[in-house]
Each structure stands twice: as structure tokens, then as C-alpha cells.
Structure 1
Amino acid sequence: MIIPEENPMSMEGVELGKKLFNDPILSINNSISCASCHIQSFSFSDPNQFSFGTDGIHGTRNASAIINAGWHTSLNWDGSAMSLEEQAFEPIRNTLEMNNSWQNVENRLNQDEEYKLLFKNSFNIDYIDSNHIVKAIAQFERSLISNNSRFDKYIRGELQLSPSELNGYAIFNTEKADCFHCHGTNLFTDNLFHNNGLDTDPFQDLGLGKITGEINDNGKFKTPTLRNIALTAPYMHDGRFQTLEEVIEHYDNGGHYSSTIDPLMKKLGIGLLLTNQEKQDLIAFLHTLSDVEYIND
């Protein structure tokens, strides 16, 4: 796990971060919290295609699930943040999200005696500032670890998967479906950015290209983790697919050509040519990645 030297984990810090994560005090009108768009029962994602901010206006991307984020080398669909601390700065001042100012948030928390005591116990500070607020939230997010799915138990030798699930696992890890190229790690993400053939040129959302300014990065988005994937619909950066079946159909059809299409999309114009049974088996395997304890703990 990536833990910055300047923000070591502590029980007090994690509990404080959890309280902040769930407290609408961070938003301009006390109407939404981090948890409003990152709902635990949906593996800290949003079942809506787009999340709504304090003014009732929705954003343009689906809220990413927060799972094992302490191992991620960048955050957000476009990689705009390089750490959980940096990412936590963004929603407060985003006009489509909490639409607040950090000065206003600091003033509120410093007028709250409970928060003053919690920050004193967590960081030994007398004045609550934005740097320590995001440090607490980041500590909580690093504590959100999912490692007890049926697949994890299978790997540990604690249970056996069904024939359908095992066949789906085999399809996942071969050129038959090509999933493993981007999702073949224990995190089920390569932490990289790809154009997976969702759109043709010109792109409505430049993704990574908007951050780097490089034309070759246009249309590329971060690979999401597949852990708890059955719990985190809708799918893709813009939530365009409502079901896993739709996601599988996208790849089975081969995707759409564009100037930055990823070389790993090798079946472009041809498709994977999966049978209906193979599609069902692949989805059965993806369901083994669900960690029920994670959403109920």
C-alpha cells in the first residue's frame, strides 16, 4: 500500500476520516457528503449514471468505486490526482459537487468542539486546516480493503468454484476474452489508461488527454478495478452500460475504431465471437469477485 510519510495511518485518523466522509458539513449547504456519491452498499460507488451536486446539477462522469484505493497510483477516470490526499481536495471546491470553499469548511470545523478534539487526538493540532482534513479522509479511504470475495477464498483454498465460474476464469485469462491484459493483477486493474473502443473521433470527453495535453492520450481512461464489479453498475467513465451483459457485448462486438484505440483491442471490427454460454460463464466468474462483507462492514 502507498502510505505517504507525512500521513501515517492511525486508528484515530481513520475514524476521523470516516466521520468526515459521511458528514454533509463539507458541502456549501450541508446537503451532500462524500458518502452521497460513494455509497457503501454499492461498494462506495453511485448506482446513478451521474451524481448530483448541491445545486441539483449532475456531473459528466460516473462516480468511481472506492476499493483498495491505497494501492492506486493515480485517481479519477482521467488520472487528475496522484494521491488520495490530492483527490480529496477536489470535490469540496467543484461547483458540480460540494461547491464550497476550503476557508468556509475550515471555519465550520473549527467552530465544532467535537471536531476540534478529534483533530487534536488524531494530528495533535489546535487549528483544523484543509491539509489535515484531506489527510484524515485519505486515511479512511486507505482502510477500505476488499480481499474476501468468493474468488479470494478460492485462491486461498477455502472453497471451490462452479464449473461455469471456472470456465469464465479461464476465458478471462486467455486471448479468448483478453480481459487479463488490463485486469490481470490482484487489484484487477493495471492502474493504466486505455482507449477501449467506446467512441469514434472526435471525443466528447478527452479523458487523460485533457490532463496531459497530449493528443495521443485523448479518449483514454483509467482501468477500473473489477473487484465488486457486479455491485457497481453502471459501467464505464460515463456510466453508459447498465449491466455486465452490455459490457460483455461491447467487447464481443470488437469496439469502435478511433485514432487512439488501444493496441490491446485486437478484435476491432471482428469481435471476440464468444458463445452465449461463454458470456454467461464469464459473467459468473465476475460475480465471484463480489465481497459481501466489504459492503456491510
Structure 2
Amino acid sequence: MSAEKKYAVSGLLALWLLTVVAVSCGKKNDDPEPEPGGPTPYNWVKPVHFPDPVYDFSKNPLTNEGIRLGMFLFYDGIMSRTNEIGCGTCHQQQAAFTHHGHELSHGVDDLIGTRNSLAVQNMAWSPRFFWDGGVHDLDFSPLNAIENPVELDESVPSIIEKLKAGPRPGAKMPVDYPQLFREAFGTEEITTGRTMRALSQFMLTMVSATSKYDFYLMGDQSALNTQEKEGMLLFEKNCSSCHAGVLLTDHSFRNNGLVPMRINDRGHSEITGDKADRYKFKVPSLRNVGVTLPYMHDGRYHSLEEVLSHYSDSVRLFMKSGSEAVETLDPLLANPEKPGIPLTKSEQQAIIAFLHTLTDEIFLKDPKLADPGIGNAL
């Protein structure tokens, strides 16, 4: 039986599927009034068990045409200097839009980045983006990868000119971007703002809320087995201070006891300039964590077993390492009598069983989010 049908749909889920949260009809001043037969509003649905989003939809009303344009921009290599690497290269759907199996992201000319690719999911609820929290607005987040010399290594003006030129000779799939912009924004004029907003529109549709755990939260007690429920209780006791709520993150930045590697990445302090923020990184959502390996900002752990072993055993060694990073270790892990999160092997296995219930097969296989045949996966 398919994942879509495996679990009984509770009354709450049915309500979610039937309830449409209409997005505000507010407009950007630089967009012309839509022509008859122009962009059609997209009804963005908030899962009933989720909090209200933090993204301001009034500044970027979603339309079917805007989302379609954003999908092409997300996957198209035209966004990079070499015309070969797109956002979807390092953010692959089957891995919750991470770069599955790669410790660090790959960019143009097969250059290696400095951090592991974060999942692109539930972006409407995120107040800050990237491991260091350097961006506060989803609409600006693509610029980070575009201008990074080891990622897309391109300039926005160059991208705009390429998009204006229309179908690119030799492209994997010829795309008439001026026409797509007309359909999405009522004009063929391609601007930075419209390009970024189209990308946001597509990313805002990447909502993961139909895992086994979600079905359980919405009333289906049979969605989790005995071990998974045991793991859920252990998780709530030991892990939910940071991986909190239905989103499985408190959106904070914390030092979780990783000895700095060759790349001495100081994380959040590179943005704030505050020594107290050194070696602190964003607490990622654990939704779909079973398919987003490797883990941590530098991809050092390749299994959930390694991650839990770190919290159970390695934090204690970290505290004795003499590293300057010890100074900002999160207080929740810094108890000298019980450093880290002491767990027995059976407790670890129960937590891992629970973590696998966060995998959302419907989201991972949603054809509306898939590459339309334009991208390159590495």
C-alpha cells in the first residue's frame, strides 16, 4: 500500500486538506496590473497543526505562474557561471532538498564548499537562513549561493541578461523566460526582485507535513508503533529543548560540542561579530532527517547512530579537548557531571526509530516539486 494511503486520515487532516488559507492579494509596486487572463492566485494551505508562518505573503502573493517560473529558475543551470549548476543540484528532492551523501556542497567546476547543504522545506516558518543565520528574508536567500565563488559563482546582472536572451542554445530544455515572466508578473521585463520573488514562491510550496509523526499528531494513534512511541517520549525528554515543537527546531543558534575541523568555521559569530556566538550554528529542523545525511554543518557524521553517539559520548571528550570552542558550549550539554545527553544503546535505537517517522514520503515524491527535466544532479 502506498504511503499516501497507508495511514488513516484523521478528521483534522481532512480539515487541513479541505481548508484553503487564502494568501493576501497585496502587490509589489513595480508589478503592473494583471491583464485579463493573467496570473492566477495560488491558495497556500497551512497545515492545521502548524503555527502561523513568519513569511509575509502580502509582499509576494503566490500565483500558479509565479511558482512555475520559480520552479524553472530553481532547477536551471542558467543561474550559475557555467550554466550547469542550479539550486536543485545541491538541493535534491529525494533528500528533502539537501545534497544527499555529500559532506560539503559542490559548486561550479566541481569546487567544494565549506558547509553541508541544509534542507529546503517549510521555509515559510523560518526567520533566518543558512547555518550562520546570515540572511533574514527568504527573498534574499538565493543571492548567497549565486554570488558564492565555490557555489554558483555568478552575478545577478549576468543572470538577468541570460534570462532576457530567451531560450539558450544547447540548453538541456529551451525555456522562454521572457514569456514566463510575462505570465507570472504581467510583463516581460526581468528584474532582480521578480527573479528572487519567483524563487521564493516555489520554495514556499515545499511544505513537509504528512509524515507518520504528523498523522499521529492529528489523531491517528496507530501511526506509530511501540518502539517509535518510546523514542518519541525519549526525544521529548532529551532533545526537544532545541528541536522543539511541530517544526522540530527552535530556530536558535547553538554550539553542540563539535571540535573544529581544518576549516575553522566559527558560525554565527561571523555574522554578529560577537565572541559569545563563536561555533554556534543553526538548530536544523529534524523533519526528514532520515534522508538528509550526512549531518552537522560540516557533514562529519554519516548516520543517525553517529549523531546520537556524539551527544552520548563525544561531548564529554569535547569538554576535555582544550579547544576554544568549549567556551561557548551550550549550557544544556555542559553539565560537568553528565555532559552531553547520556543515552543507553536501546534508548538511542528507540530515538532513531522515532526520527524515521519524520520522513515524509509524500513530500519527497511530490511531482509538483520535481525537476521538470532541466536540471543537473551531482
Give the TM-score, by structure 1 length.
Answer: 0.95
Please give the per-residue CA displacement for 1:189-209, whole angstroms capped at 9, x wherever unaligned.
Answer: 101100111126998111000
Superposition pairs for residues 26-65 of structure 1, below 5 Å? 26-47=79-100, 48-65=102-119
Superposition pairs for residues 271-286 of structure 1, below 5 Å? 271=339, 272-286=341-355
CA contact 1:88–1:134 (8 Å) conserved in 2: yes
Shift of 1:92: 1.4
Pairing 1:95–2:145 present: no
**Residue 172 (structure 1) aligned to one of 211, 218, 235:** 235
- In 1, Cα distance between equivalents of 2:137 and 2:61: 14
CA contact 1:203–1:218 (8 Å) conserved in 2: no
Shift of 1:160: 3.4
**Residue 177 (structure 2) aligned to one of 101, 107, 115:** 115
Query: What is residue 328 of structure 2 aligned with on the other side?
Result: 260
Query: What is residue 62 of structure 2 aligned with on the other side?
Result: 9
Query: What are the ranges of 5 or more consecutive residues in structure 1 without an aligned counterpart?
Result: none
Question: Residues 184 and 61 of structure 1: is their aligned pair in 2 closer, same or farther, counting only changes over 3 Å?
Answer: same
Query: What is residue 229 of structure 1 aligned with on the other side?
Result: 289
Equivalent residue of 2:228, what SS?
helix
Query: What are the ranges of 5 or more consecutive residues in structure 2 without an aligned counterpart?
Result: 1-52, 168-175, 320-325, 367-378
- In 1, Cα distance between equivalents of 2:202 and 2:245: 24
CA contact 2:311–2:342 (8 Å) conserved in 1: no
Query: What is residue 7 of structure 2 aligned with on the other side?
Result: none
Pairing 1:163–2:226 present: yes
CA contact 2:114–2:263 (8 Å) conserved in 1: no
- In 2, Cα distance between equivalents of 1:41 and 1:202: 30
Query: What is residue 190 of structure 2 aligned with on the other side?
Result: 128
AA matched with 2:152:
M
Give the TM-score, by structure 2 length.
Answer: 0.75
Question: Residues 203 and 118 of structure 1: is their aligned pair in 2 closer, same or farther, counting only changes over 3 Å?
Answer: closer
Query: What is residue 372 of structure 2 aligned with on the other side?
Result: none
AA matched with 1:77:
W
Equivalent residue of 1:206, what SS?
coil
AA matched with 1:285:
F
Query: What is residue 270 of structure 1 aligned with on the other side?
Result: 338
Equivalent residue of 2:58, what SS?
coil
**Alignment length (residue pairs):** 294
AA matched with 2:362:
E
- In 2, Cα distance between equivalents of 1:276 and 1:100: 47
Larger radius of gyration: 2
When structure 1 is superposed on structure 2, of 111-120 and 246-255 the one drifting more is: 111-120
- In 2, Cα distance between equivalents of 1:211 and 1:41: 31
CA RMSD of aligned residues (A): 1.7
CA contact 1:13–1:136 (8 Å) conserved in 2: yes
CA contact 1:254–1:268 (8 Å) conserved in 2: no
Query: What is residue 251 of structure 2 aligned with on the other side?
Result: 191
Query: What is residue 246 of structure 1 aligned with on the other side?
Result: 306
Equivalent residue of 1:277, what SS?
helix
AA matched with 2:127:
T
Query: What is residue 267 of structure 2 aligned with on the other side?
Result: 207
